[in-house]
Amino acid sequence: MANAIYVKRLTRELRDLQQNAPVGVTVEEADDFVRWRLRIQGAPKTLYEGEEFKLEFRFTPSYPMEAPEVLFVKPYIPVHPQIYSNGHICINILYKDWSPVQTVSQVCLSIQSMLSSCRKKELPPDNDLYIKSASASPKKTAWAFHDETV
């Protein structure tokens, strides 16, 4: 049953993304229900205007009850206080605040919003330590959410 929900939901989301993607979001690769790659552009009049980044969404059959694993792909990783140089993203909606009503499109909008509100391009203060010890999966990190306004 869960597998049927997973396939139906991702099929609908992919069709919606291909027909009505948010401005600045493009599906680059979505050949299966395991891994999708999307291109996301920095919004006009922000620090990231004119820049392009790539996101990878990794799904399990537990989606949408479980959040997808989402990370930026090298070398298309923005310099941002909540994005580590290995592509891991510290944003609460992918972890503690995940809800099954959220979609890939909504996650992209949240990430675009996070980028747009950034006031200074800089890595997280603990970037070097984090990337030395982090698992390949950002979902295995015990994230501490401090400042949601950067």
- pLDDT tens, position by position, for the chain (150 residues)? 458 889 999 999 999 999 999 999 999 999 999 999 999 999 999 999 999 999 999 999 999 999 999 999 999 999 999 999 999 999 999 999 999 999 999 999 999 999 999 999 999 999 999 999 888 888 888 777 655 554
SS in 3 state form for 3-27? HHHHHHHHHHHHHHHHHHCCCCEEE
Assess if residue 147 is contained within a domain: no
Assess if residue 26 is contained within a domain: yes
pLDDT the model gives residue 148: 53
H or E element that contains 114 = helix 104-116
Assess if residue 128 is contained within a domain: yes
Contact 58, 66 (CB under 8 A): no
pLDDT the model gives residue 43: 94
Active site residues: 90
Assess if residue 135 is contained within a domain: yes
Spatial neighbors of 148 by CB under 8 A, at least 6 apart, are 92
Assess if residue 98 is contained within a domain: yes
Assess if residue 46 is contained within a domain: yes
Assess if residue 148 is contained within a domain: no
pLDDT the model gives residue 4: 83
Check which CATH number belongs to the domain holding 21 and give it. 3.10.110.10
Contact 57, 69 (CB under 8 A): yes
Domain that holds residue 51: 2-140
Q: What is the pTM of this model?
A: 0.91
Domain count, the chain: 1
Where b means 16+ CB within 10 Å and e means fewer, 99-133 reads: eeebbbbebbbbbbebbbebeeeebbeebeebeee
